[in-house]
Amino acid sequence: MSIILKAENISKQYRLGTVGTGTLGHDINRWWHTVRGKENPYLQVGGVSNRASKANEDYVWALRDINFEVKQGEVLGIIGKNGAGKSTLLKILSRVTAPTTGSIKTKGRIASLLEVGTGFHPELTGRENIYLNGAILGMTKPEIKSKIDEIIDFSGCEMYIDTPVKRYSSGMRVRLGFAVAAHLEPEILVVDEVLAVGDAEFQKKAIGKMQDLSTGEGGTVLFVSHNMASVKSLCTRGVVLENGYNVFEGKAEEAVNFYLKSSDKSEEADLLSRKDRTGNGKILVSNIEIFGGSKLKLDSVISGEFLRLRFYFEVHEEVNEKLIFGFSMRDQNEELKAMVVTDEMGIDVNDLIKRGYIDFSFKNLILRGGLYNIQFTLSKTNTNKENHIDYMEKAFYLNVLQGDFYHIGRLNRAYTAAIIPCFVD
């Protein structure tokens, strides 16, 4: 397949706290360097785009030296944390804004769904806005007229199509905006979080349309989303952005795994330093470790094999009431896969906590290959929020490798729901 889009050394610089370049002095300085054939002096300055840190410079690089190629018919997922530079990259690819350095080379027509419904006039009806938005996207009036029935049917807004858009819900605007762009039949469709607003029916329809565009019509899709399940099911390749840099490029599933692991390394490092826990803090979970049958500490566990999950505790103040400890395991798509709660098992954990740790042992781990996050709760009396002593989400990531669960010389598949029998000691 031929290359339909190529990004070369794309960088985007912004001045913090101001609109535009900031000052007349900076503009004159840039002009004077340009006249003399010298490089823009402000390309040598600028901090890394990290929204969580304090700014120490006037300029920031939202993107820095981004390079990638997209072939015709590919669906490229662009993932990363908020502020990583995903939307900025799509705006550059869509020519909404220009890069500070670098160039974009494309073949064919580009349709952008960056802010769905942009260009809609609230006083115009849905039908009138189809013509308006279609024209903005580059469709001719005869082209829109020939497809308007399909667009209305796809949007699911037929009842309200002759009603002013100002009376539409946000979800209806998304439906109508996506329907127009999808029927533009572009060679390249750029989509930014369009599935975050629509309902389940619309999300399924939108994903199906993007799949049809890429597979049946040979179109190319650039897709930004925080829904990792959508990225894995829809995309063929993935790019991971972090603080404006391209830190990974590969198959969609590999990109998702890289993103989930890299985004949580700091959180795994030291539980006691985590600030995202709740509870009265009288007793804290200080560490979590996993062990195999050989009693050696592990980084990963194999599906179907023995697992000991150990929770360490730090007691700051004795609690005389009956304690309840529980934890759950969720997959990469935040779907609950397993839950263990000690009061349901008839286990008294008070003495075990005083000992300093509790071991949960699974003779045969009935989880398929994948990355699972562990959430725990330590409570008194019951697990209601007001009784929490220590509670934390995504406290630990359990990496389960595919295994020969049935001992037939064949690895099992990744991910499934499971009930996990275990004993506590």
In tens, the pLDDT along 88-100 reads 898 898 888 889 8
Confidence of residue 369 (pLDDT cuts 50, 70, 90): confident
Of 384, 378, 388, nearest to 350 (Cα)? Answer: 378
Percent of the chain with pLDDT over 90: 29
pLDDT digits (tens, 9 = 90+) for 216-268: 667 888 888 876 667 877 888 999 998 899 999 999 878 877 776 554 444 44
Q: Residue 301 is inside which H or E element, if any?
A: strand 300-302
Q: What is the pLDDT of residue 47?
A: 47
Of 305, 293, 300, 342, nearest to 322 (Cα)? Answer: 342
The order of strands in the sheet holding 388-401 is 300-302, 388-401, 370-380, 323-330, 336-341
117 CB contacts (<8 Å, ≥6 apart)? 165, 173, 174, 176, 177
Q: What is the pLDDT of residue 329?
A: 92
Q: Name the most confidently modeled range: 51-55, 370-374, 402-406, 414-418.
A: 370-374
| CB atoms closer than 10 angstroms to residue 290 | 17
| Whether the Cβ atoms of residue 361 and residue 301 lie closer than 8 Å to each other | no
Q: What is the pLDDT of residue 183?
A: 83
Q: Could you list the beta-strand ranges (E) of 100-219.
A: 101-106, 110-113, 188-192
Distance of CA 96 to the CA centre of its chain: 23
When the pLDDT of each residue in the chain is averaged and rounded to a whole number, the result is 81
- Domain spanning 3-10+64-263: CATH 3.40.50.300: yes
**Is residue 404 pLDDT above 80, yes or no?**
no
Burial group, residue 351, by CB count within 10 angstroms (0-12, 13-18, 19+): exposed
Q: What is the pLDDT of residue 8?
A: 93
Q: What is the pLDDT of residue 169?
A: 86
**DSSP three-state, residue 1:** coil
Task: Give the whole-angstrom CA distance, residue 95 versus residue 93.
Answer: 5
Q: Give residue 108's region: left, alpha or beta (phi > 0; psi -120 to 50).
A: left
Sketch the domain layout of the chain as residue ranges. Answer: 3-10+64-263, 270-424
- Comparison of pLDDT for 35 and 251, the residue scoring more: 251
| CB atoms closer than 10 angstroms to residue 144 | 20
**Is residue 355 pLDDT above 70, yes or no?**
yes
Q: What is the pLDDT of residue 42?
A: 57
Q: What angle do CA 302, 305, 308 make, to 5 degrees?
A: 95
DSSP states of 65-95 as a string? EEEEEEETT-EEEEE-STTSSHHHHHHHHTT
Of 95, 67, 64, 61, nearest to 8 (Cα)? Answer: 67
- Comparison of pLDDT for 56 and 6, the residue scoring more: 6
**Is residue 347 pLDDT above 70, yes or no?**
yes
Q: What is the pLDDT of residue 48?
A: 52
Cα Rg for the chain, rounded, in angstroms? 26
- CATH code for residues 270-424: 2.70.50.60
Task: Give the whole-angstrom CA distance, residue 180 versus residue 127.
Answer: 11
Mean pLDDT over 75-93 rounds to: 88
Mean pLDDT over 49-77 rounds to: 77
Q: Mean pLDDT lowest for which of 187-191, 192-196, 315-319?
A: 192-196
Q: Mean pLDDT lowest for which of 137-141, 155-159, 165-169, 408-412?
A: 408-412
| CB atoms closer than 10 angstroms to residue 334 | 12
Burial group, residue 167, by CB count within 10 angstroms (0-12, 13-18, 19+): exposed
pLDDT digits (tens, 9 = 90+) for 99-144: 988 999 988 878 777 665 566 888 999 999 999 988 887 788 999 9
Of 229, 236, 172, nearest to 199 (Cα)? Answer: 172
Q: What is the pLDDT of residue 144?
A: 92
Q: What is the pLDDT of residue 381?
A: 77
Tallying the residues shown for the chain, one arrives at 425
